[in-house]
Amino acid sequence: MSFESMESELSRRDTLLTDSWPDSSIDSAPLTPARRLPRRRIMLTDVQWELVVHADGRSSPMDLALRLGRSTYAMTLDARRLVAAGMLTAPEQTPVELRRQEMSTSA
């Protein structure tokens, strides 16, 4: 693969991520399913369904990709799309703050 084609592919992927949800903090945030569906009917892909089912409030899209054997990029892109659609939410706190809280309460 040439440098130009690699650069073009990276640009394409970055544009898809930004267009789906511009805030990259979602990429490392633990995700949870929304408490209520934003619409009466929802159509999800298999990857999106896995994200919603396995979102546990502790795992980021990367964690879920590794656990489920999926592409990190695909999971991140679909996580952003699901957050934009109101199907997933992320806490206001950063993952580092959450881990510190977990460590202090378990000690």
Asked if residue 43 belongs to a domain, the reply is yes
pTM here is 0.80
The residue segments making up the domain with residue 84 are 23-106
Residues of the chain predicted below pLDDT 50:
93-98
Looking at the domain assignment, is residue 3 inside a domain? Answer: no
Closest CA to 70 of 82, 79, 81, 62: 62
In a domain, 4, yes or no: no
Angle between helices 61-68 and 72-85 (to 10 degrees): 130
DSSP structure class, residue 89: E
Asked if 29 and 95 touch (Cβ cutoff 8 Å), the reply is yes
pLDDT attached to residue 100: 53
3-state secondary structure of 88: strand
Residue 7 belongs to some domain of the structure: no
Residue at 2 is within a domain: no
Q: How many domains does the chain have?
A: 1
Tell whether 55 is covered by a domain.
Answer: yes
pLDDT at position 93: 47
In single-letter form, the type of residue at position 16 comes to L
